[in-house]
């Protein structure tokens, strides 16, 4: 259970985590008040998400533009700025240095990414940041507050006309350990 006096951690969501709609919906629902964490991203991260949705998943520009506006409206405090001077000093994968720089600027504790290998421990340690897969991140949030996480999942399932097992099965593509964890706790 989360300590009500403890402030939630700031976590940078890499663009790749925001691409799968079901995963994006789940992760962002867990950031709604009362928040289990504080989502953070930059314009560059959102541009990566949009580019991937358009080029790899053939999502139209009207939809991706709408998504970007919705993210800004729902989480106006999530945008990280003024991190660009830090990029050159980052020691991780060059194409993801902007993500680590944004995380450092935001004082984030975690970068949530499918590309954990792009964020080696030696590059993260000086900043006190860790990289987690979406699967590990969702399991961590569940352990922080199982009741709230389950309540949000049940609401997501209802809002998307699914049963909880159907939602967990869809999430299992990106987060198989999370799906198994909830099934073992009697939710699958």
Q: What is the pLDDT of residue 4?
A: 46
| Confidence tier at 188 by pLDDT (50, 70, 90) | low
Q: How many CB atoms lie within 10 A of CB 180?
A: 15
Same domain, 93 and 119: yes
Is 4 within the bounds of a domain?
Answer: no
What is the span of the domain harbouring residue 24?
Answer: 10-132
Same domain, 45 and 110: yes
Is 1 within the bounds of a domain?
Answer: no
Is 2 within the bounds of a domain?
Answer: no
* CATH number of the domain enclosing 58: 3.40.50.1010
Same domain, 147 and 128: no
Q: What is the pLDDT of residue 51?
A: 96
Q: What is the pLDDT of residue 1?
A: 41
Same domain, 41 and 94: yes
Q: What is the dihedral of CA 185, 170, 35, 9, to 10 degrees?
A: 90
How far is residue 114's CA from residue 133's CA, in Å, rounded to a whole number? 5
User: pLDDT averaged over the chain?
Assistant: 94
Same domain, 48 and 109: yes
Shortest CA distance to 7 belongs to which of 32, 29, 31, 36? 36
Residues 127-145, mean pLDDT to the nearest whole number: 97
Q: What is the pLDDT of residue 7?
A: 65
Is 81 within the bounds of a domain?
Answer: yes
Same domain, 60 and 82: yes
Shortest CA distance to 17 belongs to which of 154, 134, 162, 179? 134
The secondary structure of 76-96 as a DSSP string is: GGGB--S-GGGGGG--S-GGG
Q: What is the pLDDT of residue 186?
A: 81
Is 3 within the bounds of a domain?
Answer: no
Is 147 within the bounds of a domain?
Answer: yes
Same domain, 79 and 95: yes
State how many domains the chain has: 2
């Amino acid at each position: 259970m989360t300590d009500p006096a403890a402030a939630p951690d700031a976590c940078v969501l890499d663009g790749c985590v925001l691409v799968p709609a079901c995963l994006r919906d789940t992760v962002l629902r867990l950031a709604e008040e009362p928040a289990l964490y504080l989502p953070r991203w930059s314009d560059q991260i959102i541009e990566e998400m949009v580019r991937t949705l358009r080029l790899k998943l053939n999502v139209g520009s009207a939809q991706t533009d709408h998504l970007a506006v919705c993210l800004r409206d729902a989480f106006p405090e999530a945008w990280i700025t003024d991190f660009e001077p830090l990029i050159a000093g980052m020691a991780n994968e060059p194409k993801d240095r902007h993500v680590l720089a944004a995380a450092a600027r935001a004082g984030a504790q975690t970068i949530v990414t499918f590309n954990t290998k792009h964020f080696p421990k030696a590059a993260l340690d000086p900043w006190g940041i860790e990289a987690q897969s979406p699967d590990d991140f969702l399991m961590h949030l569940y352990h922080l507050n199982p009741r709230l996480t389950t309540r949000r999942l049940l609401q997501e399932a209802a809002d998307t006309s699914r049963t909880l097992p159907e939602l967990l099965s869809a999430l299992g593509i990106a987060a198989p350990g999370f799906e198994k964890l909830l099934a073992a706790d009697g939710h699958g």
